[in-house]
Amino acid sequence: MVDITHKSNTLRIATAQAIVKVSSEKTITAIQNGTVPKGDVFSMSKAAGLLAVKKTPELLPDCHPMPIEFTGVAYEIYELSIQIKVTVKTIYKTGVEVEAMHGASVVALNMYDMLKPIDKGVEIENIKLLEKKGGKSSYPIADASGINAAVIVCSDSISQGVGKDTSGEVIKNKLAQFQITTNESIIIPDDISSIQNTVKELVKTNNLIIITGGTGISPKDVTPEAVLPLIEKRLSGVEETIRRYGQDRMPFAMLSRSVVGTFQNSIIMALPGSSKGVAESLDAVLPHLFHSFKVLTGARH
């Protein structure tokens, strides 16, 4: 299976179709009148389709088990053809296209099984995906061009030459995945005035400033206290997303005091000091945070 643990839940919708062709108008009439010997074709085939959707990961080894929150089966008759549409919805980390196509396939196959005693010419065709929503197709990666980034590492020990910076390197590597070059990386002590002065200087040439360290609750953790007075518009939703993403992975993420907001048409992010914490924080909000830079320049949502 593909690793999806880094992804976040979004609404996923997929609609698939299958076409069942019969050879006689008598077959269509029997379906509509409920006189097919094996029973109500539409109702029984719908039940088979619902089961198929739920059991998709049991039969296809790369499909992830997931909560199926809606499955709809609809039929349209066009002369001697019956169009089957299966729509599946979930709020999860991966899409439901295969589940919808599997459901449509089994609905068609069950119809074939029920109709074959009265019609030897039944055919199944055009099993395909009609529509999908959610994930990258609905929320494409925002253009990261024009983003100039700087990194601030807040640490008394590292600024004194004790220990090695790993979190700053994580940030630079994460940004590089989106072709964003980090222009400056500065290590400073955990000090309110140092943090504020560094941010004020870097904001002159950078529109994304990521601070790592000092967001916990120890006496020396003062990064939020330094950043909040500078923030003009706080992005609370980004902060909530970071904490929620972290808490899904480890309980102590609830203690983080990450702060995100705007300052002089730039985005300031104060993130945890641990390399794992800062990596997960960026995974939670990138690349969709890039959309905010266009809004800052006056573009519409």
**Which of the two residues, 33 and 293, has the higher pLDDT score?**
33
**Is residue 286 domain-shared with residue 156, that is, in the same domain?**
yes
Looking at the whole model, is its pTM more than 0.85?
no
- Position 139 scores a pLDDT of 64
CATH number of 245's domain: 3.40.980.10
Q: Which residues contact 173 (CB under 8 A, 6 or more apart)?
A: none
Q: Which residues contact 179 (CB under 8 A, 6 or more apart)?
A: 144, 145
**Is residue 127 domain-shared with residue 233, that is, in the same domain?**
no
**Is residue 194 domain-shared with residue 277, that is, in the same domain?**
yes
**Is residue 173 domain-shared with residue 245, that is, in the same domain?**
yes
Q: How many domains does the chain fold into? A: 2
Alpha-carbon gap, residue 54 to 103, rounded angstroms: 9
Sheet holding 10-21, edge to edge: 70-78, 81-92, 10-21, 123-133
Beta bridge partners of 154: 188
- Position 157 scores a pLDDT of 85
Domain membership of residue 258 (yes or no) is yes
pLDDT at residue 49 is higher than 80 = yes
Q: Which residues contact 251 (CB under 8 A, 6 or more apart)?
A: none
Using the 3D structure, point to which of 115, 137, 159 is the last residue of a domain.
137
Residue 32 structural domain: 10-137
Domain membership of residue 3 (yes or no) is no
**Is residue 52 domain-shared with residue 172, that is, in the same domain?**
no
pLDDT tens string 122-152: 999 999 999 999 876 666 666 778 899 999 9
Domain membership of residue 261 (yes or no) is yes
Q: Which residues contact 162 (CB under 8 A, 6 or more apart)?
A: none
- CA atoms within a 13 Å half-sphere pointing along the CA-CB vector of 128: 4
**Is residue 105 domain-shared with residue 168, that is, in the same domain?**
no
**Is residue 155 domain-shared with residue 273, that is, in the same domain?**
yes
Alpha-carbon gap, residue 18 to 13, rounded angstroms: 17
Pick the catalytic residue: 3, 113, 190, 191? Answer: 113
CATH number of 114's domain: 3.30.70.640
Domain membership of residue 143 (yes or no) is no
Q: Which residues contact 248 (CB under 8 A, 6 or more apart)?
A: none
Q: Is 113 a catalytic residue?
A: yes
**Is residue 270 domain-shared with residue 230, that is, in the same domain?**
yes
Using the 3D structure, point to which of 117, 137, 157 is the last residue of a domain.
137
